[in-house]
């Protein structure tokens, strides 16, 4: 397993795609964890889809991925790209919060520790799924900026940071992408071959 992290628009997704397609022989699976919420997001998704090409199959989802990948028979793929961890954590956190009246809801009432535990369980199951194609995860490093002003922002940052630390611990290689330049910060002794 490989983790690719970096800031927004750093080139991490394009780099992760190259890691997955390294030997040039597909098929590969792209796990899209975002929800399309507006036209601009739909255009971004389509742009990424066109860049990947015909040897990529796309699966859209973010919850229960270990089971979903088992059902899709991950062994038929040469590699699986999960893009992105950040969107997956966002969606799982809002699923945990549930259907509330957003106008009056106080994010300070959320049990963020329980949310984090539930979200980590999703990633643990995915990383323990057993046999199957190698996984490459793409995530955002959001802890380098200012402290978020809101309770939701601070707790989201903390949960994503914890998930990123977990993934970095279990992945054989970790890359940090800065301005389109990947820097390997873990691995490099052959274990990064997906």
For 23-34, what is each residue's pLDDT tens digit?
A: 788 899 999 998
In this structure, the dihedral spanned by the alpha carbons of residues 23, 27, 33 and 36, taken in order and rounded to 10 degrees, is 120
Question: Of 12-16, 42-46, 105-109, 190-194, where does mean pLDDT reach its minimum?
Answer: 190-194
Annotated binding-site residue? 75 = no
What is the Cα gyration radius of the chain? 17
Annotated binding-site residue? 8 = yes
Mean pLDDT, the chain, as a whole number? 90
Annotated binding-site residue? 98 = no
- Tell me the pLDDT band of 80, cut-offs 50, 70 and 90: very high
d(Cα 142, Cα 191) in Å, to the nearest integer?
26
146 against 153, higher pLDDT: 153
Give yes or no for residue 35 having a pLDDT over 90: no
pLDDT at 30: 93
Per-residue exposure over 29-65, b if at least 16 CB sit within 10 Å of its own CB, e if not: bbbbbbeeeeeeeeeeeeebeeebeeebbeeeebeeb
Question: Of 28-32, 97-101, 144-148, 158-162, where does mean pLDDT reach its minimum?
Answer: 144-148
Instruction: Establish whether 25 is a catalytic residue.
Output: no
35 against 81, higher pLDDT: 81
- Tell me the pLDDT band of 194, cut-offs 50, 70 and 90: very low
191 against 21, higher pLDDT: 21
Catalytic residue chosen out of the listed positions 1, 29, 48, 85: 48
Give yes or no for residue 193 having a pLDDT over 60: no
Percentage of the chain beyond pLDDT 70 is 94
**Structural domains of the chain ordered from first start:** 2-186 (3.40.50.300)
- Tell me the pLDDT band of 189, cut-offs 50, 70 and 90: low
pLDDT at 74: 61
């Amino acid at each position: 397993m490989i983790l690719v992290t970096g800031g927004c628009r750093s080139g991490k997704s394009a780099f992760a795609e190259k890691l997955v397609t390294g030997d040039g022989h597909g098929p590969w699976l792209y796990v899209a964890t975002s929800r399309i919420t507006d036209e601009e997001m739909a255009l971004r998704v389509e742009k990424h889809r066109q860049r990947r090409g015909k040897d990529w199959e796309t699966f859209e989802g973010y919850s229960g991925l270990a089971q979903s990948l088992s059902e899709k028979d991950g062994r038929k793929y040469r590699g699986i790209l999960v893009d992105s961890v950040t969107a997956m954590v966002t969606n799982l956190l809002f699923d945990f919060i549930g259907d509330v009246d957003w106008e009056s809801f106080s994010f300070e009432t959320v049990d963020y520790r329980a949310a984090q535990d539930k979200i980590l369980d999703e990633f643990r199951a995915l990383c323990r799924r057993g046999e199957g194609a190698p996984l490459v995860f793409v995530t955002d490093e959001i802890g380098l900026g200012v402290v978020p002003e809101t309770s939701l922002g601070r707790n989201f940052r903390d949960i994503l940071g914890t998930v990123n630390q977990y993934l970095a611990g279990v992945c054989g290689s970790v890359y940090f992408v800065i301005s389109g330049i990947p820097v390997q910060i873990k691995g490099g002794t052959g274990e990064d071959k997906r």
